[in-house]
Amino acid sequence: MVNGLLAAAWQRLHKKLLFLAVILGGAVACSVVLYPLALLLLQHLPPSYRGLLELDGGPTEALAVLRHSAASIPLLSNAWLFIAVEVAQVLLAPIPGTILGLAAGFLFGFWKGMALSLVGLTIGTTLAMGIGRLFGEHAVRRFVSKRLMERFDDLVQRGGLWGFFMIFLLPALPDDAVCFLAGLSRLPLGRLVAVAILGRLPGHAVLTFVGATADENAHVALGVFVVAMVLAVFVWLFEEQLLIVLKRYVGRTS
């Protein structure tokens, strides 16, 4: 039985590694193909855009100019609109949360970006959990796939606040979907929202920091981002094993 479980785990890991290799290979191939095309298009860009790409300060100065330009566009610098997009990201996931975290820091700076992100996340998380709590499993199925519901069923039925905290803390896990599922649990809604926000706080702080410092200390921002992405890929690769550990913990504490 143990050999069968190990074989199944290796098969899942092998599939993920193969998928990751295909993605990286595709990215490299696209870069090779698109680079000559980008050089050609550069010659035909308007002088203002071409100048942005050819600044003496390199990418750092270009990002600074881009930040200044974005700040002058009301649609991009509107705090209420950003909060609305963050709420929609939790409920409908039209935009990856990683991009929004970077955008928060880039457009508003670290502290304001963090505040806006937390407001949007709190509203979106509360609404998602409220849907699960008020309307039950039938409504949650409209937002969460059957496969995800089955994978997290034990945590929903028997999981405590610590189990949910770990799901929200670890990167690459489907925490937006878990918001809906958490509403199906018997745990107090207020505590669930608090746990979700606390768990998401470190990851969003990293992303906001990277976005806020991209044009000031690009090397530090890039280093932090790479470490965060490596951790996210690690969690994604061993997601099943981590869930097994969490379920065992839930089983011991329930």
pLDDT digits (tens, 9 = 90+) for 5-14: 455 556 666 6
Contact by Cβ (8 Å): 160, 130 = no
Q: What region, left, alpha or beta, does residue 91 occupy, with left being phi > 0 and alpha being psi -120 to 50 degrees?
A: alpha
Picking from 240, 232, 93, 242, the residue whose alpha carbon sits closest to that of residue 163 is 242
**pLDDT at res. 1:** 44
pLDDT of the residue at 75: 67
Domain residue extents for the chain: 1-44, 78-253
Mean pLDDT within 214-236: 70
pLDDT digit string (tens) for 141-176? 888 888 888 777 777 767 678 778 888 887 777 888
Q: How far apart are CA 222 and CA 82, in angstroms?
A: 24
Q: Which residues contact 152 (CB under 8 A, 6 or more apart)?
A: 167, 177, 178, 181, 243
Concatenating the DSSP letter of every residue in 229-240 gives HHHHHHHHHTHH
Position 196 pLDDT exceeds 70: yes
